[in-house]
Structure 1
Amino acid sequence: MNQLWGYLIVEELVRNEIDYFVISPGSRSTPLTVAAAQNSQANKIICLDERAAGFHAIGYARATGNPAVLICPSGTAAANYLPAVIEASIDNIPLIILSSDRPPELRQTGANQTINQVNLYGDYPTWQFDLPCPTAEINPNVVLTTIDLAVSRARQAPGGVVHLNCMFREPLAPTDAQVEIPASLVKWHEGRFSIGEAPPTPYTRYADKLTIPTPDEIQSLIETIASTAKGILFVGQLKSPAESQAVIKLAERLNWAVFADVQSGLRLRQDVPNLIHYFDRLLLTDSALELEQIDTIVQIGTKIVSAQWFKWIEKYPPTNYIALADNPDRYDPNHLVSCRIESDITYLCDRLCQQLPQLSPSTWVQKLRSASDRIGITAAKFLKTSKLTEPLIARTISELIPSQHGLWVSNSMPIRDLDMFGVGANAEESQSLSLRVGANRGTSGIEGAIASATGFAVGLQVPVTAIVGDLSSLYDLNSFALLQHNSQPVIVVVINNDGGGIFSFLPIAKSTDLFENYFGTPHGLDFQHAAAMFKLDYYNSLNYEEFIHDYLQAVDDRRSAIIEVTTDRAENLQLHQALNLDIQQKFE
């Protein structure tokens, strides 16, 4: 019965077109692991570290929009998924967890590797269910309908984490015992497909749900837009290229200023009309006076990186702040949103494009574009005259990364530097048109960065460059093991400033008696031996020219690699301050 239920679980997931299984080895999960191993349609990866497995699954789901399946044994194994569960839950990333558990008679008895796994993740899952032990007295159809509901809850907007806690009694390994397949399953079982054939439909098919606003809501939005003299289209994190294309079409129709977060898929492009590339730094200059009386902000997407943006809108709130999102969750840290519309983003943008008249460009938008271009020139000159620095690394990668690659950015300084100083290539080269950028901004933690990048590469099925800090890399050191067997190479650019660089920008840095030991946290380590341990190519770039050479060499080799760059935390703070001052002085 264990074998049968394991087979049904994996087979029904595959029939729902969920075919990526991240497996952490163990005994109690044997029925699930064997079922996945023996299913020719299932793609598998073995991940020894459950925390890394969870973030690998997140990277895959961010790339594909489709959940990966996590399989683990009983005990604390499933508890190690918790950081990834929280990240996925807050950012509406679909995941399906199949944790294995002891049977009820072993719970609260002191039995080995037995903990309370019911509701293990609290309120973070969008749905969770304690699947009973396989037995002939329970109709196996229960398994199929449960899996189909789990898939629906993980996928349907807003999406999120589903946890199925699967209890198994021994024997766990396959046996020669024959189990009669119930008559109700015969037809389903005979529908087994072979490679190259289209899979049969799931046992219970859940129709796709499209969240759309009412015609009155759309009309009210159109009237607000049409009456706007000064408008900003702010684009936060988007989930797919289809959403990015829909937003670009809306931007063409609006002719408003476009502020795009680096996670939007638009920030590093050159074909977005009225894109203000350096809006974050522009807010530090006198040109920002143009933004003091904004009629309307339409925000699409969430998880915005720019802290400067939040400070600005709190000081100069617009008359109308309209938030468009595909989920019911509030994302309004400044408490300024005056209207919120929940809708499928692609659908709503298409509807607005159909009904909105073509708006004319305004002179104030042209002023913003001109100011942004000046900031870009200033930053380029300033950074290229300095030695190899953290902002220059982010900017250089944005210039050199091939368009068919993916880019994963770790939290703290790397994503901020890319958001502030990243640049798209020339439009005629179409360099950045298909570049996907990923980051874990649900909780903005530093854990799981390398593991997430590996999953992102598998999901995109292209090579990925990951920009990661040294503490993130140390925190996720086990995940370098995933690079040995990943189906796509990942180039990990480790920015090693010997500690937590972002803390140098905080007021605590002035407490010199406490700062270095408790916040700067120097470690004195490098990653050359880690590269050797995990059999990865290793580069140590000492200057700007070497970094360009090493990065392009790693790209050409199409092998996973570590490129380590050593920087200085104090110098990095001074450089950011000097660059900001240089930008401000250009506008005085």
Structure 2
Amino acid sequence: MSTTDHISADRLIRTWVACGLTHAVVSPGSRNAPLVLALASHPSLEIVVALDERSAAHVALGMGLQSGRPAVVVSTSGTAAVNHGPAIAEAFYQEVPLISVTADRPSEKRDWGLGQSAMQNGLFEAHTRWSCEVPEHQNDVNTLDEIARTAWRKSQRGPVHINLSLDEPLYGKSKIEVPVLASAPSVPHVTQAEQMPEGLQDIVCQHDPRILVHLGSVALGPSLAKEIDQLIDRCGVIADVFGANGSGAESSTMRWMCGWNEQASNQWMPDAVITVGLPPMDKRFRSLIVDWNIPHWHLGWDENEWNMFGTKAGEWRIDAATGLQELAAALPAFNGYAQRWEVRRIQLEAADSRSRNQDWVDFNVYRWLAEHLTKADRIHFANSTSARYAQWFQWNATNLRANRGVAGIDGCLSTAVGDALMNPEVPVVAISGDAAWLYDANGLHVHPRPENLKIIVINNGGGNIFRWLKGPEESGLLERFFETGFAENMRGTAEQLALPYFVANGWDSMEEGFQSWANNSGPCLLEIQTPGEASANHIGDHCAAMGALLRDA
């Protein structure tokens, strides 16, 4: 089969295929035509065409989540290339494999004022594990092979960026036979595991140590629920559902702090905090740990050396599952601090249950979905309120996902699209607020479209998170500048995307709408319309009611 006559484009793709590349995402353009021709010359590759480069890069990010292997995303020059930025930043902080290749004009023509030109060399340097400029005249296959292999190796720990200069003509083909490269499987990330840091050992070996473990979102690898459950009797544990869904530990820091006061803060202060995965979602919880001013160790191979609370004592460089197992083995089998945590967790569950009602609000809708979404293998939650409500409930899915690296609303749907395309044999659900859905609906402008993806949009009239925060409402500008609903309903976007559309706006229509959506054989949209102000008031009232019950316990 013929390929591009641009040796650099052909050789990069050829080498990545030899390394194990299976999926690529391209967006229409001219400058990247040689890369597209090179990709198309490999029948084994699954190639997705995405209209929007911002969505395309997030689709590629989603492809790397389960496999731990990079997908290649290709763009034309100019602002198209810049649009890979949000997904690259997200992949950087989540440490998800991703290779971005941006086509560019030859360096000598970049200051000619030509169309679709931007300063692309080193464009994403701050948010990549490695970046490289490949000039048009670079035709030495050994050098190109080394560039491609370095990119593949570096991408195992996060995104890399290749800026490839390509001169016209761009659509030329070559049938010159180039020897097929020998298979070059990716090199696993192998580093010598460290022993538990000495300072942490000193605290762990104390009589009845007070250790708090916080497990944040973990993008890659299996759930750490099993390892977390081994710790519950030995220390205090909070485990984000995006890292250990199904564990017996408390998952919501918002719930855990219900009824909190200064006395409680002193009562629960640990001797040390150990973090795994991404930082805590809840600003109030993070502020509490900052105020405690206790030593902090981070456990794992993370490249991002988080100093989450300003008191970092060190890193424990070890596989997360192994480190948690070693920590459990080092802690005493009976721990008074841990027992108080377990009592608190039981009290929280009782107070939570007693404070619930059947009002038609976001909180109860998410609770209902957690009970009824029994067939989804993967559930992706958009950021903002969706990711926060997810923490309150146990979900039946094997994997829960959210883009918690940068934690923006851009790309949440597109990431789910990539995950669904990479894993077509399992059902995938994306749950989003109306603002996040409207912001990223372009994620479904892809060919092919995943047949195993279904979408739920909770439409509460805009950015409901701003009703949770102190400031927007007090400013008097909440509805005009912050919450800002942009669509009364999602029917129009569903029709524009040719998605079967179902709607629920109360408990009477919920069961019918959900079942029709669930029984649909392909991609479809269920819009659940809820009252925004009542939903925001309800979560505050629910926490206050829980706090009152806990104080009386």
TM over 0.5: yes
Whole-Å separation in 1 of the counterparts to 2:422 and 2:506: 33
AA at the equivalent of 1:526: N
Q: Compute the displacement of 1:93 (Å).
A: 2.3
Q: Given that residues 210 and 271 in structure 2 are in contact (C-alpha distance below 8 angstroms), is that contact kept between their aligned partners in structure 1?
A: yes
Moved more, 487-496 or 578-587: 487-496
Whole-Å separation in 2 of the counterparts to 1:310 and 1:139: 52
Whole-Å separation in 2 of the counterparts to 1:72 and 1:516: 37
Q: Compute the displacement of 1:250 (Å).
A: 5.2
Out of 383, 391, 397, which is 1:411 matched to? 383
Q: Given that residues 218 and 352 in structure 1 are in contact (C-alpha distance below 8 angstroms), is that contact kept between their aligned partners in structure 2?
A: no
1:529 aligns with 2:492: yes
Q: Given that residues 225 and 296 in structure 1 are in contact (C-alpha distance below 8 angstroms), is that contact kept between their aligned partners in structure 2?
A: no
In structure 2, the partner of 1:579 is 542
Q: Given that residues 65 and 239 in structure 1 are in contact (C-alpha distance below 8 angstroms), is that contact kept between their aligned partners in structure 2?
A: no
In structure 2, the partner of 1:309 is 285
Q: CA 1:542/1:510 → structure 2, altered by over 3 Å: closer, same or farther?
A: closer
Whole-Å separation in 1 of the counterparts to 2:192 and 2:512: 49
1:90 aligns with 2:69: no
Q: CA 1:488/1:348 → structure 2, altered by over 3 Å: closer, same or farther?
A: farther
Cα deviation 1:186-223 (Å, max 9, x = unaligned): 4xx2x5xxxxxxxx423xx77434233444x4565444
Q: CA 1:180/1:509 → structure 2, altered by over 3 Å: closer, same or farther?
A: closer
Q: CA 1:208/1:450 → structure 2, altered by over 3 Å: closer, same or farther?
A: closer
Q: Alignment partner of 2:84: what SS?
A: helix
Whole-Å separation in 1 of the counterparts to 2:406 and 2:164: 28
Out of 450, 465, 477, which is 2:429 matched to? 465
Cα deviation 1:433-485 (Å, max 9, x = unaligned): xx211111222211112111211223444222222111111111222334x73
Whole-Å separation in 2 of the counterparts to 1:466 and 1:291: 39
In structure 2, the partner of 1:195 is none
Whole-Å separation in 2 of the counterparts to 1:174 and 1:479: 31
In structure 2, the partner of 1:201 is 183
1:375 aligns with 2:357: no
- Residues 558-569 of structure 1: pairs in structure 2 closer than 5 A: 558-569=521-532
Q: CA 1:34/1:386 → structure 2, altered by over 3 Å: closer, same or farther?
A: same
Q: CA 1:293/1:165 → structure 2, altered by over 3 Å: closer, same or farther?
A: closer
In structure 1, the partner of 2:29 is 26
Q: Compute the displacement of 1:585 (Å).
A: 1.4
AA at the equivalent of 1:491: K
Q: Alignment partner of 1:88: what SS?
A: helix
Q: Alignment partner of 2:406: what SS?
A: coil
Q: Given that residues 278 and 372 in structure 1 are in contact (C-alpha distance below 8 angstroms), is that contact kept between their aligned partners in structure 2?
A: no
Q: CA 1:510/1:237 → structure 2, altered by over 3 Å: closer, same or farther?
A: closer
What's the TM-score once normalised by structure 1's chain length?
Answer: 0.85
1:118 aligns with 2:121: yes
Q: CA 1:291/1:545 → structure 2, altered by over 3 Å: closer, same or farther?
A: farther
Whole-Å separation in 2 of the counterparts to 1:165 and 1:27: 15
Whole-Å separation in 2 of the counterparts to 1:321 and 1:410: 29
Whole-Å separation in 2 of the counterparts to 1:143 and 1:550: 54
Q: Compute the displacement of 1:128 (Å).
A: 1.2
In structure 2, the partner of 1:280 is 254
Cα deviation 1:83-142 (Å, max 9, x = unaligned): 22222223322211111112234221123323322112242222111112156xx32122
Whole-Å separation in 2 of the counterparts to 1:236 and 1:445: 16
How many residue pairs get aligned? The number is 544
Out of 433, 441, 462, which is 1:477 matched to? 441
Q: Compute the displacement of 1:306 (Å).
A: 2.3
Q: CA 1:470/1:552 → structure 2, altered by over 3 Å: closer, same or farther?
A: same
In structure 2, the partner of 1:332 is 307
Q: CA 1:37/1:179 → structure 2, altered by over 3 Å: closer, same or farther?
A: closer
Q: Compute the displacement of 1:302 (Å).
A: 1.7
Whole-Å separation in 2 of the counterparts to 1:82 and 1:576: 34
Whole-Å separation in 1 of the counterparts to 2:29 and 2:499: 27
In structure 2, the partner of 1:231 is 211
Whole-Å separation in 2 of the counterparts to 1:361 and 1:543: 48
In structure 1, the partner of 2:479 is 516
1:402 aligns with 2:402: no
Whole-Å separation in 1 of the counterparts to 2:123 and 2:326: 42
- Residues 124-523 of structure 1: pairs in structure 2 closer than 5 A: 124-134=127-137, 138-155=139-156, 159-175=157-173, 179=176, 181=178, 186=179, 189=180, 200-202=182-184, 207-215=187-195, 217-218=196-197, 221-227=200-206, 228-242=208-222, 244=224, 247-248=227-228, 251=231, 255-264=234-243, 266=244, 268-270=245-247, 272=248, 275-285=249-259, 288=264, 291-318=267-294, 320-349=295-324, 352=327, 356-357=329-330, 359-387=332-360, 389-402=361-374, 405-419=377-391, 421-424=392-395, 431-432=396-397, 435-461=398-424, 462-482=426-446, 485-511=448-474, 513-523=476-486
- Specify every segment of 5 or more residues in structure 1 that has no aligned partner in the other structure, as ranges: 192-199, 425-430
Q: CA 1:248/1:519 → structure 2, altered by over 3 Å: closer, same or farther?
A: closer
Pairwise CA RMSD = 2.8
Q: Given that residues 274 and 296 in structure 2 are in contact (C-alpha distance below 8 angstroms), is that contact kept between their aligned partners in structure 1?
A: yes
Q: Given that residues 223 and 399 in structure 2 are in contact (C-alpha distance below 8 angstroms), is that contact kept between their aligned partners in structure 1?
A: no
Q: CA 1:440/1:366 → structure 2, altered by over 3 Å: closer, same or farther?
A: same
In structure 2, the partner of 1:67 is 70
Q: Given that residues 194 and 317 in structure 2 are in contact (C-alpha distance below 8 angstroms), is that contact kept between their aligned partners in structure 1?
A: no
Whole-Å separation in 2 of the counterparts to 1:282 and 1:460: 35
Q: CA 1:504/1:243 → structure 2, altered by over 3 Å: closer, same or farther?
A: closer
In structure 2, the partner of 1:197 is none
In structure 2, the partner of 1:196 is none
Q: Alignment partner of 2:472: what SS?
A: helix
Whole-Å separation in 2 of the counterparts to 1:207 and 1:447: 31
Q: Compute the displacement of 1:41 (Å).
A: 1.8
Q: Alignment partner of 2:117: what SS?
A: coil
In structure 1, the partner of 2:111 is 108
Moved more, 376-385 or 441-450: 376-385
Q: CA 1:2/1:393 → structure 2, altered by over 3 Å: closer, same or farther?
A: farther
Q: Compute the displacement of 1:583 (Å).
A: 0.2
Cα deviation 1:269-327 (Å, max 9, x = unaligned): 15x4xx13455323223694685342232221123212332132233344x43221312
Whole-Å separation in 1 of the counterparts to 2:511 and 2:341: 32
Whole-Å separation in 2 of the counterparts to 1:557 and 1:326: 42
Q: Given that residues 377 and 428 in structure 2 are in contact (C-alpha distance below 8 angstroms), is that contact kept between their aligned partners in structure 1?
A: yes
Q: What percentage of residue pairs aligned between the two structures are identical?
A: 22
Q: CA 1:277/1:92 → structure 2, altered by over 3 Å: closer, same or farther?
A: closer
AA at the equivalent of 1:84: A
Q: Given that residues 63 and 421 in structure 2 are in contact (C-alpha distance below 8 angstroms), is that contact kept between their aligned partners in structure 1?
A: yes
Cα deviation 1:203-261 (Å, max 9, x = unaligned): xx77434233444x456544432325322222112233446267337527x63232111
Moved more, 242-251 or 504-513: 242-251
Q: Given that residues 21 and 42 in structure 1 are in contact (C-alpha distance below 8 angstroms), is that contact kept between their aligned partners in structure 2?
A: yes
Whole-Å separation in 2 of the counterparts to 1:436 and 1:26: 35
Q: Given that residues 283 and 312 in structure 1 are in contact (C-alpha distance below 8 angstroms), is that contact kept between their aligned partners in structure 2?
A: no
Q: Given that residues 324 and 343 in structure 1 are in contact (C-alpha distance below 8 angstroms), is that contact kept between their aligned partners in structure 2?
A: yes
Whole-Å separation in 2 of the counterparts to 1:357 and 1:115: 55
Q: Alignment partner of 1:457: what SS?
A: helix
AA at the equivalent of 1:348: G
Whole-Å separation in 1 of the counterparts to 2:150 and 2:323: 27
